[in-house]
Amino acid sequence: MKESGVMKLILRMAVTAAGLLAALPVFAHHSGAAVFDTTKKLELKGVVTKMEWTNPHAHFYLEVKDADGTVTSWNLELASPSILLRNGWKRDSLKAGDVVTVDGSPAKDNSKFGIAQSIVFADGHKLNFLSAYEDLK
């Protein structure tokens, strides 16, 4: 089936929103509620030590220093690389050395593991679990 250039453009515009919305069932390969306690809030400030672009979930490690100087490394989960990349993330959007504040929810099993719902940088720009587009909730 041949699509004209105009049709392609219209389709692209029309389905960008659909594509983002369709990415919303994010607990793609298991029930998120089976892992995380979404009734609890997590707020962590620290420095990223590693970004893992792996499946099924991209994730990153955040080193957090307590008031008393104790350093803890948290593993924080994101959507899959394919979903992130389709929604504006780039390879270097989040990388070792970035200083960020992460809001999310912790794992039910009390391990240093959580889901990162939003990531805010020192200059105010944001990423979230699904996308790099600030306005997408």
Residue 69 C-beta: closest distance to other proteins, Å: 28
Residue 89 C-beta: closest distance to other proteins, Å: 12
Under the binding rule (CB under 8 A), the answer on residue 112 touching other proteins is no
Interatomic CA distance for residues 24 and 57, integer angstroms: 14
Q: Which is nearer to other proteins, 52 or 134 (CB)?
A: 52
- Grouping H, G, I as helix, E, B as strand and the rest as coil, residue 115 is strand
- Measured in residues, the chain has a length of 137
Interatomic CA distance for residues 112 and 23, integer angstroms: 26
Task: Pick the binder of other proteins from 64, 113, 121, 136 (CB under 8 A).
Answer: 113
Under the binding rule (CB under 8 A), the answer on residue 55 touching other proteins is yes
C-alpha distance from residue 14 to each of 65, 85, 91, 130, 136 (Å): 45, 19, 26, 19, 16
Rounded to the nearest 5°, which phi and psi values hold at 9?
-65, -45
Residue 39 C-beta: closest distance to other proteins, Å: 10
Any residues with CB less than 8 A from the CB of 11 and at least 6 apart, and which? 3
Query: What x/- string results for residues 26 through 45 when contact with other proteins is judged by CB under 8 A?
Result: xxxxxxxxxx--x-------
| Binding site residues, other proteins, CB under 8 A | 1, 3, 7-8, 11-12, 14-15, 18-19, 22-35, 38, 52, 54-57, 59, 75, 77, 80-83, 85-86, 107-109, 111, 113
